[in-house]
A and B are shown apart, each in its own frame.
Chain A
Amino acid sequence: MLAILNPIMRVVEIILAPIQRGFGLKGMAWAFLAPNLLLFGLFAFLPVILNVSYAMTGGDNVLLADRPDVGFRNFATLTDCGSYLDPNTCREDKFWRAVWNTAWFVTLQVGFMVGFALMTALILNREIRARGFFRSVFFFPVLLSPVVVALIWKWILQREGVLNALLDWAGPGGINWLVEADWAFGWSVFISVWANMGFYTLILLAGLQAIPRDVYEAAIMDRASAWRVFSRITMPLLSPTMLVVLVLALIRGVQTFDEVYAFTGGGPGTATTFIIQYIYEEGFAGAPRLFGLAAAASLMVAIVLVMLTLVQLWVNRRNVDG
């Protein structure tokens, strides 16, 4: 493969040479950024900007030109609440139910997922046999499409599914998992941890393997306890990787949609309706399609996410400095 790629790279080098000569390193920086910025501009920023325009318009027309300007009315509709803690007092009660469900969900999901991913990564980092095999085992569910994940677990958990058959056989008897709100919620957390944990395990494992051996050897010389080694060496050295994991897990946790939507449809009632499902149903799947309301909701979520991420980055910076 290199035989083919090398000449191509040589050509790129020749094309880029004048830029480096003319504009120096700063010019090269922009040259490296340019293709990405072009794609980003068109397919990531522009849609977001259009989304802002949608948020300021009403009606159910698709094309912006046909949509009447309504200013901040969509935002006002979403935030029209007697008490934000009780969705029943809100005009868009579904939005606030989704917000609170998502908050709970993310807290549990990120906590469990990062916890288990770290534990799994630590175990896989030990000198164990068949490490490659076990790594594949834990990563495997990540390969499944969200719909398949949902389908498999739905079968296992349905009233007369595999799990209840096992429970009946073992004695305690089955539970109608997906009809009880709390169970359905718990299982949603479970399947999303199940489906995504492997990805974070892999990133953490890469981070663990990058920690130099000699640091550990020195600690063993000093007869440091296992916990001390973990809290004083492993965790601090792992913290840049941990930051990536936490930021991504949090953002993707808030954006959880496909697997839970296919799993419970957001039910029972609205027990597992999360914010992206609300946006999807209001703006796309439902009738009439309220693009404006959906866009406004998505912007509010994005703002909250940006703030959470900044807090994470800030905390991390303090930890690293201190």
Chain B
Amino acid sequence: MQKRFASTALATTLAAAITAPAMAQEIRFMCYSDGNECEVYEDVLSRFEAANDGVDVVVDVVPFQAIGENLPVQLAAGTGPDLAKVVDLGGLNEYYLDLTPYIDTAYWDESFGETLNWYRAGDRQGYYGMHSQLTITGPFVNATLFEQAGVDLPGEGATWDDWAAAAVAVAEATDADFPMAIDRSGHRVAGPAVSYGAALNGPDGPTLSDEGFAAFVEQFVAWHEDGTIARDVWAGQGGSSYQDAAAEFINGEIVFYYSGSWQVGRMDEQVGDFFDWRVVGSPCGPAGPCSGMPGGAGIVGFEQTEHPEVVAALIDFLAQEDIYAEVTARTRNLPAHLGVAGAGVEFEGASEAAQAALNGFAGALPAVDPAAFWYQGYPGNRAMFGITVERVSQAIVGELSVSEAVARMEEDLAAAMAESQ
């Protein structure tokens, strides 16, 4: 029995080895899902296959970890896929296929505007990536709790202090456990930090230790100490690992939850009619801006591909306004395509609350500070996110004082910049 086992196995492996190269123009698309994106791409791309004879697009759905950690190593070794959905937009630039010769650059400029820059780095200033899902950070509030407590929702232009005071008042008056929570991520706190005056791109280059950033860290740590912010999220994890507080918000334990547009689908499905939830604009800081932080993922081709023209055609196909609009509606993401955004998107299967929330997030885009835009486009931002999370967490749990943490962030960033060039 063992032997038959082995011989069938051998036969299948051999068969796979023989048939694979025989297939004309097989395109490998490495994709990860935060919802149903990969399924939708697979479906939409079958139309591309139908229109292009002999092209076979295979969508390989991988764990996000494979994109974040392994893809760069595979690209360096020359064994990457033909195209992929990535989040380290600028960081992988050296491997990107320049789409310029294959596409209508005027259409791309007009449609994708600023996001095209996020994929550019150094002297490579071509057209590389199509931003497939735009995200923006912002707060969700539990309006039912506000109503129960008889506290008015702070209005337009309210500051972080206003929101903190209101949330604390609501939590005290109701059985909510925590006034506020913020996802454990360096990306999430970037918007608030900018609102507190962090320049991020300082006069001497990228910085995490200017006065504004330090002011934010101090306030952030103080809020953890006095119980304004749920400790579980930032203190319950280590390293630079990501942690959200969606489950707590869904259970009605949090008054004000700072996360981002990608949570809308989950809130819609899971909160249901348990309470009224609402999306409000990012609060303002003492420094003025009421900034969230843009982000998201995009689709890029790699120079290593044997079929650059097919890969470029495929990405261009996904970038067409009708296709882009369809994918956006079906995946319930914010559009980065300016044409699609301008026309408005009717999100598929979304409730009124969800539609309003997504529109709310889209409406918060103009408030995003240029510093936040720069940060999203900076190729070294992943290092900066990681450093922020690690060191600020240490300050929250008391391993470092705030000033020590800020000093360590400065050293870490300097070391990282020195090593990566």
Contact = CB atoms under 8 A, between A and B. Distances in A.
B383 A287 contact: yes
Contacts of B383: 286-288
A258 interface: no
Contacts, number: 101
A71 interface: no
Given A1-B1, A270-B394, A284 B69 contact: yes
Residue among B231, B239, B251, B396 with the highest chain A CB neighbour number at 10 A:
B239
Interface stretch (A34-42, A173-181, A247-255, A305-313): A173-181
A264 B238 contact: yes
Contacts of B69: 284-285
B232 A88 contact: no
A60 B243 CA distance: 27
Contact of B386 (A93, A176, A178, A287): A287
Contacts of A289: 72
Contacts of B329: none
B344 interface: no
A154 to B, nearest CB: 9
Contacts of B408: 93
Nearest to B75: A62
**Size band of the A side of the interface?**
35 or more
Contacts of B382: 287
A61 B76 contact: yes
Interface in A31-86: 58-63
A264 B237 contact: yes
A286 B399 contact: no
Contacts of B394: 269-270
Contacts of B251: 160
Contacts of B404: 88
A39 B397 CA distance: 46
Contact of A181 (B91, B241, B397, B419): B397
By Cβ-Cβ distance, the 8 closest A-B pairs, closest first, are: A267-B238, A266-B238, A62-B76, A265-B241, A269-B397, A287-B382, A265-B237, A288-B420
Interface of A: 1, 4, 58-63, 88, 93-94, 97, 159-160, 176, 178-179, 181, 261, 264-273, 277, 281, 284-290
23 contacts: A1-B2, A4-B2, A60-B420, A61-B76, A62-B77, A88-B400, A179-B232, A181-B397, A265-B237, A265-B238, A266-B237, A267-B235, A267-B238, A268-B235, A268-B237, A269-B396, A270-B238, A285-B240, A286-B240, A286-B386, A287-B380, A287-B385, A288-B419
Given A268-B235, A270-B394, A286-B240, 8 more contacts: A1-B2, A4-B2, A59-B419, A267-B236, A267-B397, A270-B238, A285-B240, A287-B386
